[in-house]
């Protein structure tokens, strides 16, 4: 069974940076980050394949960087130039087949989420 555990969320000032981590218990083909604001649909942030190929949502390019440490089975999301609009619960997710899609429905495995709050 795939287990994903996020960490690193918290409160930051606008303009600041934060790095999220997601520990996994297996090596799986596609790993990703999503985020969700209450009352809105879960939004794809970025994906990364086992080989390191990345895909970003257009609105995240340039500020967010997805990476991984394969040996430690940890997924990261480096977030820079944060603004209040980035406030959300951030989830890591994984699937074994499709790493080009940022649609949540293609990801069967999810962590519990970690809250990021950005204050102005």
Encode pLDDT of 8-59 as tens digits. 999 999 999 999 999 999 989 999 999 999 999 999 999 999 999 999 999 8
Round the average pLDDT of the chain to a whole number and report it.
96
Q: Distance between CA 75 and CA 21 in Å, rounded? A: 6
In total, the chain counts a number of residues equal to 120
- Between CA 88 and CA 37 the distance in angstroms is 5
Q: Specify the pLDDT at position 62.
A: 92
Q: How far apart are CA 24 and CA 4, in angstroms?
A: 5
Rg (alpha carbons) of the chain, rounded to whole number: 13
Structure tokens, 41:
């649909």
Answer for the pair 35, 11: CB distance below 8 angstroms, yes or no: no
């Amino acid at each position: 069974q795939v287990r994903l555990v996020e960490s690193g969320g918290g409160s930051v000032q606008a303009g600041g940076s934060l790095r999220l981590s997601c520990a996994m218990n297996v090596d799986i083909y596609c790993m990703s980050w999503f985020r969700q604001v209450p009352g809105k649909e879960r939004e794809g942030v970025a994906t990364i394949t086992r080989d390191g190929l990345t895909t970003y949502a257009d609105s995240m390019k340039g500020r967010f960087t997805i990476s991984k440490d394969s040996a430690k089975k940890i997924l990261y999301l480096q977030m820079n130039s944060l603004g209040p609009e980035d406030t959300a619960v951030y989830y890591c997710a994984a699937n074994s087949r499709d790493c080009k899609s940022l649609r949540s429905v293609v990801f069967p495995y999810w962590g519990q989420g970690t809250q990021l709050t950005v204050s102005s």
